[in-house]
Amino acid sequence: MQIIYWLLVALMVVGIIGAVVPAIPGSSLILTAIIIWGFVSGSFAAIKIPLIMTVIVLLLSVGVDFLASYIGAKQAGASKWGQIGAVVGLVLGILGLLPALPFGGPLLGMLIGPLLGAIIGEFLYRRELWPAVKAGIGIVVGTLVGNLIQGLLAVAAVAVFLVTTWPQVFGG
């Protein structure tokens, strides 16, 4: 039972990473691991608090992601064109369709793609370079802040799971 527990904790760690890094499922992996533990341990009563907290974290993560990007874009004066460009840039960056980067690959593409996409989208809309750059930076900063908050929420959910289930698994 301890091996399964550690495997599920490892899955939760991947979920924490996924809460911060786009394209990797985050809170949903943590939620899945908690539900699996409920079946394995045969006691959903023992995971009631972590399960409720993780569902709340999952809902908050969606809200934080939207709000952080929106606030970052609004503060920088970005239009929908910039936001759409950032999403397109993220997808292209993850898939590696940006011009070949000398280092970093998809991870660097996830950082550069949204910035370039937002700048290009804003430039197509406004036809001015500096407002486009400012909007692109605002969108990316908002997204990064949102990802950081999601990561902290995910860490909190995993910590609650560990605190509530540790005595069940290791007897103390």
Q: What integer pLDDT is reported at residue 128 of this predicted model?
A: 82
* Helix axes 80-95 and 129-170, enclosed angle (nearest 10): 60
Which secondary structure element, helix H or strand E, spans residue 77, and what is its range? none
Least Cα distance to 18 among 39, 40, 33 occurs for: 33
Q: What is the pLDDT of residue 100?
A: 55
Domain count, the chain: 1
CA dist., res. 45 & res. 129, Å (int): 57
Q: Decide if 70 contacts 142 (C-beta within 8 A).
A: yes
Q: What's this model's pTM, rounded to 2 decimal places?
A: 0.73
- Give the angle 78-153-143 at the CA atoms, nearest 5°: 15
Under a CB-based contact definition with an 8 Å cutoff, are residues 158 and 12 in contact?
Answer: yes
Nearest-5° Cα angle at 40, 39 to 46: 70
Q: What is the pLDDT of residue 153?
A: 87
Confidence at residue 6, expressed as pLDDT on a 0 to 100 scale: 93
In 10 A of CB 130, how many CB atoms? 8
For residue 135, the model assigns a pLDDT of 81
Q: Split the chain (172 residues) into runs of 10 and give each run's mean pLDDT.
A: 90 89 78 89 79 82 72 75 80 68 63 82 84 81 82 90 85 70
What local confidence, expressed as pLDDT, does residue 64 receive? 75
Residues 165, 172: Cα–Cα separation, whole Å: 10
Amino acid 148: pLDDT: 86
Question: What gap in Å lies between CA 4 and CA 100, rounded to an integer?
Answer: 40
Domain extent, residue 83, equals 2-170
